[in-house]
Chain A
Amino acid sequence: MKRDYDIVIVGAGPAGSMTAKWAAKNGARVLMIEKRQEIGSPVRCGEGISRAWHDSVGLKLDKKSLAWEVKGAKLVAPNGTPFYLGEKMAGDEVGIVIDRVFFDKQLAREAIKAGADLQLKASATKLIKEGSKVVGVHVNSMDGPRDISCGCVVAADGFESQVGRWAGIDTSLAPRDITTCFQYRLTNIDIEHEYCEFVLGSKAPGGYIWIFPKNEDTANVGIGMQFTKLHEIADVKKHLDKFIQGDPRLRKGKPLELVSGAVSICAPIEKTIGDGVILVGDAARQIDPITGGGISNSCKSGKVAGEVLAKATQENDFSEKSLMRYENGWRNLIENQLYRNWLAKEKLVTLPDETFDKVIATLNDVGVEKMSTLAILKAIGDKYPELVKEFQEFL
């Protein structure tokens, strides 16, 4: 019996759309299902990204996806001392602030143009299996409930991913590997709109506060805190509110948007494939454990996933062995960096404010060649080898 689709992708965020685009472009029959009624909304993202990786995944941001360009990053020590990573060294980590409402639609549009189908307000409720092999997915939508048969289901269902767990892949997180977040899009504020700002230390225990400008007087002002550092109910929002009230630039601001969510800050997980199933993006725990950023890794892994799935379609082989090409492919691209940044995160969350103050002072003394987490970690390691000794081999 002919299957309904070669590939069904659950979730039409960046990882899902990227997978869909590269699979469809290379001949697979692809359906994306998205539980929400609109692609990209509501936003659950700080929206600051870098540019360096765009060419490698064939991404050209359209005008609406690009909200704001910044000169660089500003790291702020707990004692208030800033360290500026300027435009001369701009590149790898921070450079632009996007508009996810448009960005996600752009990626979905490109997937559709490549030949993928998309259904909105369609939720996966369970996997259909033959033995341990995934052969389809049960979907609830406006058309009513139905079974969709396919060669491979792609779990691109984000932090709260269920598809991987249904398939028997362990994506559960230890408390220390979870960051919960809250963000306001604040307007009527008086910020340095040419920089993406990161506030370090105990204002955001185990995480950081970010101020990512969307225009001259508006920014995404958010906080991420490590789960194990949460004590009171709604602690994360309380910490952000306290920070905003204590900052004269932000105090008079009013929110245009509220965002909450969580991200994984774990080491790369053991397995992201099974017979007839692959995990991609946040669902595959591919978030950078230091920055909490997931878009670049989602796009990189999504492209690999799409290309592998197109080949698997041609060969009509969606076995775990066939999908190993994805497992190996994404790990070759980002696994080392994820692991290094997880080790670095494990260290950073233990540092007292005085150490962050010293580190920022050092960075101001020695400078940093490139705007990347790696360059910053290297500069720290030169002065304070004990801070990087657990992951020295990755620097």
Chain B
Amino acid sequence: MKKDQLDEFEVNIDKCMHCGACVGSCPQNAIYLREVVLEFNDSCTLCKRCIKACPVGAIKLVESA
């Protein structure tokens, strides 16, 4: 599956520890940790590994309607 523009990862900033667990777990190198903000780029394939890797459950995928 290729990331659709309508699908967005949502990072819960109240939970995110900026630890980079999702970044290093991403098979596509599609996440960038800019200081304390996560940026997802177009090489994301929606594999959702980052969601599972996040130790605190801060990432979720907002599915398109």
Q: Do A and B come from one complex?
A: yes
Interface residues of A (CB under 8 A from B): 35, 44, 123, 158-162, 165, 172-173, 175, 178, 180-182, 227, 230, 233-234, 236-237, 258-262, 264
Cross-chain pair count, CB within 8 angstroms? 79
Looking at B17, B33, B34, which has the most chain A CB atoms within 10 Å of its CB?
B17
Across the interface, A159 reaches (CB within 8 A) one of B20, B56, B60, namely B20
* Distance A159 CA – B25 CA, assembled complex (angstroms): 9
Which residues on B sit within 8 Å (CB–CB) of A35? 35
Known contacts A159-B21, A173-B24, A261-B21; A165/B29 CB under 8 A = yes
Across the interface, A123 reaches (CB within 8 A) one of B21, B29, B34, namely B34
Chain B, residues 9-48, CB within 8 Å of chain A (1/0): the string is: 0000000010111011101010011110000000000000
Which residues on A sit within 8 Å (CB–CB) of B25? 173, 175, 178, 180, 227, 262
Which residues on A sit within 8 Å (CB–CB) of B3? none
A-B contact pairs, 13 of them (CB 8 A): A158-B20, A160-B20, A160-B33, A165-B29, A172-B29, A180-B21, A227-B53, A259-B19, A260-B17, A260-B56, A261-B21, A261-B55, A262-B21
Known contacts A160-B33, A258-B17, A262-B20; A172/B27 CB under 8 A = yes
Interface contact A234-B19, CB-CB below 8 Å: no
Interface contact B24-A264, CB-CB below 8 Å: yes
Q: How far is the CB of B28 from chain A (nearest CB, A)?
A: 8
Across the interface, B24 reaches (CB within 8 A) one of A178, A234, A258, A260, namely A178
Q: How far is the CB of A357 from chain B (nearest CB, A)?
A: 28
* Distance A316 CA – B23 CA, assembled complex (angstroms): 34
Other A-B contacts than A260-B21, A260-B56, A262-B25, 17 sampled, CB-CB below 8 A, are: A35-B35, A159-B20, A160-B21, A160-B24, A162-B23, A162-B29, A165-B29, A180-B21, A181-B55, A233-B52, A233-B57, A234-B54, A236-B55, A259-B19, A261-B17, A261-B20, A264-B24
Closest Cβ neighbor of A121 among chain B residues: B35
Which residues on A sit within 8 Å (CB–CB) of B24? 158-161, 173, 178, 262, 264
Which residues on A sit within 8 Å (CB–CB) of B55? 180-182, 234, 236-237, 260-262
Which residues on B sit within 8 Å (CB–CB) of A182? 55-56
Which residues on A sit within 8 Å (CB–CB) of B54? 180, 233-234
